[in-house]
Amino acid sequence: MRIDIITVSPELIQSPFDHSIIKRARDKGFVEVHFHNLRDYALNNYGKIDDYQFGGGAGMVLMIEPIDAIISKLKAEREYDEIIYMTPDAPTLTQQTANTLSLKKNIMILTGHYKGVDQRVRDAYVTKEISIGDYVLSGGELAAAVLSDSIIRLIPGVLGDETSALTDSFQDGLLSPPVYTRPSEFNGMKVPEVLLSGNFPKIDEWRSEKAYEITKRVRPDLLDEE
Ligand code: 6GU
């Protein structure tokens, strides 16, 4: 997979890609991530990429020309499965969306800043818009890192233990059950007996029950959706 990220602040987004599972995925060639600084496509030597909004109102709007320049350049080099715009006024990212995107070949992610981008960018180029939740961030960079992480870890082969992504919270519509490791007792706090029993059908059953219990308690809305 190849992910191209267009941003005003590459330095704000790069570090999550240099650690842990995502770094390993890049090192092993499962994913290539390229960052493009929108300022390199500015209209003039002052690096102008934004302007006041027509009709008045606070906040600057990212202009269409620099964005057109970088998107056109990338599109001439390869075909993109999706051109995604990160914005709070969009459908919320779900595990299902991450699953679907993890099977794509080339993805472009455009991150907004200030008041966002000129609507014509969204109308003309963007094929999918994604928010990461009902709150506002100062820019789309962190959201793009979140989206990329959720996708990259699902690329077949990235997680060593192939089953581990399948047992994630949300993958079966439920949150994850609690986990424990050694010691089996700490300051009088004991690990549930069943997990030490070696009885795997019983352990599976306990985990399913717990997953259901926890989902019902903290995210009952997930059960309603079924
Ligand atoms: Cl994608 N961008 C911004 N700026 N804020 C957000 C968001 C995105 N998703 C949730 N809040």
The H helix count followed by the E strand count for the chain is 9, 9
Q: Which CATH number fits the domain that encloses residue 202?
A: 1.10.1270.20
| Ligand 1 proximity of 136 Cβ (cutoff 6 Å) | yes
pTM: 0.94
How many other CB atoms are there within 10 angstroms of residue 213's CB atom?
13
The full length of the chain comes to 226
CA of 12 to the centre of ligand 1 (A): 14
Q: What is the pLDDT of residues 157-192, one digit of tens each?
A: 999 775 677 778 787 889 999 999 999 999 999 999
Predicted local distance difference test score (pLDDT) of residue 115: 86
Pocket flag, ligand 1, residue 143 (CB < 6 Å): yes
160: CA distance to ligand 1 center in Å? 31
Q: What is the pLDDT of residue 39?
A: 95
Establish if 158 belongs to a structural domain: no
Write the DSSP string, 152-210.
HTTSTTSSSSTTTTTTSTTTTSSPPPP---S-SEETTEEPPHHHHS--HHHHHHHHHHH
Q: What pLDDT is attached to residue 210?
A: 97
Closest residue by Cα to residue 118 from 46, 59, 53, 58: 53
Q: Tell me, using a 6 A CB cutoff, whether residue 132 lines ligand 1.
A: yes
Span from the CA of 141 to the centroid of ligand 1 (angstroms): 9
- The pLDDT, as a whole number, for residue 162 is 57
Residues lower than pLDDT 70 in the chain = 162-163, 225-226
122 falls within a domain: yes
- Is residue 135 classed as helix, strand or coil in its secondary structure? coil
In a domain, 161, yes or no: no
**What pLDDT sits at residue 32?**
98
Side chain identity at 165, as an amino acid letter? A
The pLDDT assigned to 169 comes to 79
What is the structure's pLDDT at 135?
Answer: 96
Residues 80 and 190 in one domain: no
Q: What is the pLDDT at residue 165?
A: 76
**For ligand 1, is residue 144 a contact (CB within 6 Å)?**
no
Last residue of a domain, one of 152, 179, 212: 152
Centre of ligand 1 to C-alpha 165, Å, is: 25
Q: Residue 37: which domain range?
A: 2-152
State residue 163's pLDDT score.
Answer: 60
Q: 73, exposed or middle or buried, with CB in 10 Å at 0-12, 13-18, 19+? A: exposed
